[in-house]
């Protein structure tokens, strides 16, 4: 089908079959000044085009309002909320557009990264990898200590970086170990490729808030894989981040976006005990019509080159898989998944 026909069909399907609202999860924005290799970062023009076309069929409202309606059992049909995980500096490039269109957003900064506007290990790895010869990358993995079973056990469909990422999550709980920094820096220097994607500072978060309506949620202090941490550390990561944003933002919200989209029943329970009103996942579906608890709320993770018509079909519930349902926790990282 031609693009215009697909858009028309998806609009009809969404209006006819759509039963509930949804939360869209963006990460960073790519521009000439902020390129990125990862598909999780969306080109600025594509983000703008998607939000423009969504405004034809949906109403974009603050995340807190969408979740409030869901909790009360009110209809969320036709309602969309926009979130940005990690509070990337490149999001400032769409600040004026968001403000002009009256689009509210909720950002989820990593507390420690906002201090100096730090880069994240996953962007450093993603952006240097395409420029590293295979033999050199294998040498890097061996120096890091990636076990052979991680290379053998990962589905090829997830790409060549899957073994390294799974090992980082399982072995280091998603936190970059400083002992590996010299080796990664050496790769960047050899290839002359280092990521420019980074976190916003608090001054930049304030700048974004002057351009459009911004709420600030919890993405923990250090972005760990929470299911691997003991109870006390989970609480510290969540409570410490919320305390930081409460001191620095006039619009903090007690909503946790689980780092890496990873959580289990224990983490959700601890988040609730720490004062979080909702825990957000990346399970890839619309909200559904289940009222009441906001623990483990589904979000749809946006990615590069995903057309708006396909998103609208997902908003209508078409293409959902059995594991993509509210309440279904993801499989934790290991050498075989």
Together in a domain, 231 and 108 = yes
Give the pLDDT of residue 320.
Answer: 57
Residue where a domain stops, chosen among 145, 168, 191: 191
Together in a domain, 128 and 276 = no
Together in a domain, 299 and 251 = yes
25 within domain boundaries:
yes
Together in a domain, 104 and 215 = yes
Pairing of strands 252-257, 59-60: unpaired
Together in a domain, 216 and 306 = yes
Domain count for the chain, please give it.
2
Q: What is the pLDDT of residues 275-326, one digit of tens each?
A: 999 999 998 889 987 666 688 999 999 998 777 777 877 887 776 554 455 5
State the pLDDT confidence band at 3, using cuts at 50, 70 and 90.
Answer: low
Contacts of 197 (CB under 8 A, 6+ apart): 28, 34, 36, 41, 88, 89, 90, 119, 120, 123, 127
Together in a domain, 48 and 157 = no
Domain with 208, as residue range(s), is 3-118+198-315
Together in a domain, 97 and 222 = yes
Q: What is the pLDDT of residues 198-246, one digit of tens each?
A: 999 999 999 999 999 999 999 999 999 999 999 999 999 999 999 999 9
Q: Which of 179, 181, 188, 187 is nearest to 140 (CA)?
A: 187
State pTM to two decimals: 0.94
Together in a domain, 210 and 311 = yes
Together in a domain, 244 and 311 = yes
pLDDT at 9 exceeding the cut of 90 = no
Give the pLDDT of residue 277.
Answer: 96
């Amino acid at each position: 089908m031609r693009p215009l026909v697909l858009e028309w069909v998806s609009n009809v399907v969404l209006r006819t079959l759509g039963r509930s609202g949804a939360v869209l999860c963006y990460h960073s924005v790519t521009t000439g000044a902020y390129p990125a290799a990862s598909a999780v970062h969306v080109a600025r023009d594509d983000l703008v085009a998607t939000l423009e076309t969504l405004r034809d069929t949906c109403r974009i409202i603050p995340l807190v309002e969408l979740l409030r309606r869901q909790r009360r059992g009110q209809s969320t049909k036709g309602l969309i909320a926009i979130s940005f995980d990690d509070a990337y500096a490149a999001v400032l490039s769409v600040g004026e557009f968001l403000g002009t269109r009256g689009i509210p957003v909720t950002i989820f900064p990593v507390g420690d990264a906002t201090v100096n506007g730090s880069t994240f290990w996953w962007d450093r790895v993603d952006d240097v990898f395409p420029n590293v010869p295979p033999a050199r990358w294998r040498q890097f993995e061996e120096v890091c200590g990636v076990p052979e079973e991680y290379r053998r056990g990962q589905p090829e469909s997830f790409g060549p970086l899957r073994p390294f990422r799974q090992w980082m999550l399982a072995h280091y709980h998603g936190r970059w170990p400083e002992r590996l920094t010299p080796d990664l820096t050496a790769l960047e220097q050899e290839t002359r490729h280092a990521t420019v994607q980074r976190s916003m500072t608090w001054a930049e978060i304030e700048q974004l808030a002057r351009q459009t309506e911004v709420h600030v949620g919890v993405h923990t202090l250090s972005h760990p894989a929470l299911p691997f941490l003991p109870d006390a550390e989970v609480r510290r990561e969540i409570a410490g981040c919320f305390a930081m944003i409460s001191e620095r933002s006039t619009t903090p919200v007690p909503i946790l976006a689980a780092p890496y989209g990873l959580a289990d029943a224990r983490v959700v329970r601890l988040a609730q005990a720490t004062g979080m009103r909702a825990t957000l996942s990346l399970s890839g579906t619309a909200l559904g019509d289940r009222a009441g608890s906001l623990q483990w709320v589904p979000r749809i993770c946006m990615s590069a080159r995903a057309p708006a018509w396909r998103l609208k079909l997902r908003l209508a519930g078409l293409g959902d898989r059995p594991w993509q349902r509210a309440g279904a926790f993801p499989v934790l990282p290991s050498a075989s998944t």
